[in-house]
Amino acid sequence: MATISMTVNGKAVKRAVPDNTLLSEFLREHLRLTGTHVGCDTSQCGACVVHVDGRAIKSCTALAASLDGATVTTIEGLANGDLHPMQKAFNDNHGLQCGFCTPGMIMSGVDMVARYKAEGRELTEAAIRHELEGNICRCTGYHNIVKSIQQAAAEM
């Protein structure tokens, strides 16, 4: 067992969990934050993307024990009250259908917009598509996801 302390969505949490607990399991099973989804077992689909210390990572591939002391933001903690511009953009542009990949898409979208802004690079359509390499959606054909991220990028 390992005792893990983290700041998750602005709240300090502490749990004793088995050593092999993945961050996705820590969030879903121990903190009951079920907005983070697990859609594959090979780090390909990106439904589990969360932010750890300001960077997007796949929570299905990180051991919770390796992130003791980390600051984690999940889809549940992305906005304070109102919707985050990325969340609003997904609603505005019909960027989701079944909703299962959506939390990961939104967390990846927020991360890519922030990175490109910080680096002063233009987030073109091609760049968005390239950046979404690690996020699979089976419903939308990506059309409206790309549009959503374009809208949010303009607003963020």
Could you tell me which residues come within 8 angstroms of residue 124 by beta carbon, excluding any fewer than 6 positions away?
none
Instruction: Please report, as residue ranges, which positions from 1 to 60 form the binding site for another protein (by CB under 8 A).
Output: 18, 20, 28, 32-42, 44-45, 47
32: phi > 0 → left, psi -120 to 50 → alpha, else beta; which? left
> Rounded distance, CA 50 to CA 84, Å?
15
Judged by CB under 8 A, which of 48, 75, 152, 153 binds another protein? Answer: 75
State the number of binding residues for another protein (CB under 8 A): 56
Q: Which is nearer to another protein, 21 or 69 (CB)?
A: 21
Judged by CB under 8 A, which of 17, 65, 96, 123 binds another protein? Answer: 96
What the block records as the tokens of 7 is: 């700041």
DSSP 100: S
Of 138, 134, 140, give the one whose Cα is nearest residue 42.
134
Q: Does 144 bind another protein (CB under 8 A)?
A: yes
**Site map for another protein, 76-95, x if CB under 8 A?**
x-xx---x---x--xxx-x-
The upper half-sphere exposure of residue 71, i.e. CA atoms within 13 Å in the direction of its Cβ, equals: 6
- Chain residues binding another protein by CB under 8 A are 18, 20, 28, 32-42, 44-45, 47, 74-76, 78-79, 83, 87, 90-92, 94, 96-103, 106, 125-126, 128-130, 132-133, 135-146
